[in-house]
Structure 1
């Protein structure tokens, strides 16, 4: 990764107001995260851990409560003009292509929508054809007049990707990009993302709960739990030698994993009532087994919160 990352979040917080004046839900709670040029970063974690809220904040769709976001070395300002320019350079690929595409719009209209919104001059037909070709829909002329119901699931996802590519962004944020696709199609979409990185120098933040996907596509992996990054580092390092008990537990359920089985009990705590100490300690198998006690860190696990992970590292007293 270059010295100045393409996208960087520092101390980022997003707090949603509580009901009837109660405590707010800390969906994102002090996150440092960077994506370099030409880099693919996988953001992984359980449902409800704050991954999508963090992604929306990085896109400028949610205004952070605290912290800052820098893009290309400059702070992101939350003015209408600045956000409009930012969203042209950073595009979103949604999880469900069927829900993302208007059934009454043709493929051409769906892909050209970004050009219309941003008032792009020039030959829209050529831009749409080029985006469809880059997304693997060749020849483009076979697809421009079709409607979503006439396409397979994989083809619809390629149309969504083409809609992001038509504006020639520098970064795409893909939220569970293959979760709704058949297993036979997932590999094709992942290979497409890797090819776009190789051919266009495109950066990507891939939001997923699937560690197998992260293994196949990511340069770096950031593991998120209850609003905070708890482990981050090169994909091979994190996925073959995880240091945080939460990462170990996520990996242990993969059939091909060499990590000893670890069963997480209970549900993640309410983000409006984050426990003191390490936020994972109420579910931590290392603490429950007595291993943290033998290592002399059990008291710190219950009372002292580990520091924020910045760059590569792990937020765990035992690790």
Structure 2
């Protein structure tokens, strides 16, 4: 069952000094199923955080819609408050996410108080901390963020999300600020929560290694669009889009030489014609696209928007021509 769905989602910001508008999210289709972990990957500036904010209702789409549980997201204060109880955000910087003047207990209980929880607050906070791996939970109640390690602070942030018993969490770079030794513990925690609670997750990251370790499905984003998607093993072992290939080539365990992309991602207010990646594409630059007979299409024809389903898809003329052969 599809839990969260984006359909034709656009988020556009006004241009600077009266210039053309910047299209941060440009026609994205994306599904997250019940009990599924989807990794949204791409380099900085590709629009993945803006997309996550739109899915959370923090940014209202310029066009398109977000639906949850089959119902379109409404943007009234009451509707958004109800929605955010079911969908929670976990940010990458636990130090910045926690008020240094609040105890762990108050940090975790804050959501309960906002939503007018009528049950046993102390028991709910203790259970959330325990699920997040902070045991015995009572020993953390009166501690402050500065008294905790980075991994413990991230667990407190996760507990603050879990206390409302959400159906889905959106985790924006959840381990980026943590030591390597702690990252595995947090990823294992997220996987355990999915198993124990049936929790769904959208994990926003630039790290394909993280996606490999945690996700069921991956969506690769470039310049406001999903350019490749499918089962994580399929996409990351046999990448078809040149951009995905380049991202994977720089991982330490990747075979061969890393692919060094030329230039910077284009300005989202001036998206190029044809494939939006063509100006940096190593396949086009090496002549492989010309040999496949798609060089002109790469420069002039938009490969189109991928649908949000779970099947493997790629927005690349060269990849499609190669598959056809």
TM-score by length of 1: 0.98
Shift, 1:260, TM fit = 5.5
1:90·1:169 contact (CA, 8 Å) conserved in 2?
A: yes
Residue 313 of structure 2 aligns with which residue? 313
- Give, in whole Å, the separation in 1 of the partners of 2:13 and 2:113: 33
Q: 1:83 aligns to what SS in structure 2?
A: helix
Partner residue of 1:121 out of 94, 118, 123 = 118
User: How has the CA–CA distance of structure 1 residues 259 and 61 changed in structure 2, closer, same or farther, with 3 Å as cutoff?
Assistant: farther
- Give, in whole Å, the separation in 1 of the partners of 2:79 and 2:136: 36
What 5-or-longer segments of structure 1 have no aligned partner? none
1:20 aligns with 2:24: no
- Give, in whole Å, the separation in 1 of the partners of 2:268 and 2:101: 39
Partner residue of 1:270 out of 267, 282, 287 = 267
1:53 aligns with 2:46: no
Shift, 1:259, TM fit = 6.3
| Deviation string, structure 1 residues 85-105 (Cα, Å, up to 9, x no partner) | 111100000000000000000
How many residue pairs get aligned? The number is 316
1:197 aligns with 2:194: yes
Residue 69 of structure 1 aligns with which residue? 66
- Give, in whole Å, the separation in 2 of the partners of 1:95 and 1:208: 10
Shift, 1:22, TM fit = 1.4
Q: 1:205 aligns to what SS in structure 2?
A: strand
- Give, in whole Å, the separation in 2 of the partners of 1:146 and 1:255: 39
- Give, in whole Å, the separation in 1 of the partners of 2:258 and 2:155: 37
126-135 vs 75-84, which deviates more?
75-84
1:79 aligns with 2:84: no
The within-5 A match list for 1:162-311 is 162-258=159-255, 261-310=258-307, 311=309
1:90 aligns with 2:87: yes
**RMSD after superposition:** 0.8
Shift, 1:256, TM fit = 1.3
Residue 322 of structure 2 aligns with which residue? none
Residue 39 of structure 2 aligns with which residue? 42
- Give, in whole Å, the separation in 2 of the partners of 1:124 and 1:60: 27
Residue 144 of structure 2 aligns with which residue? 147
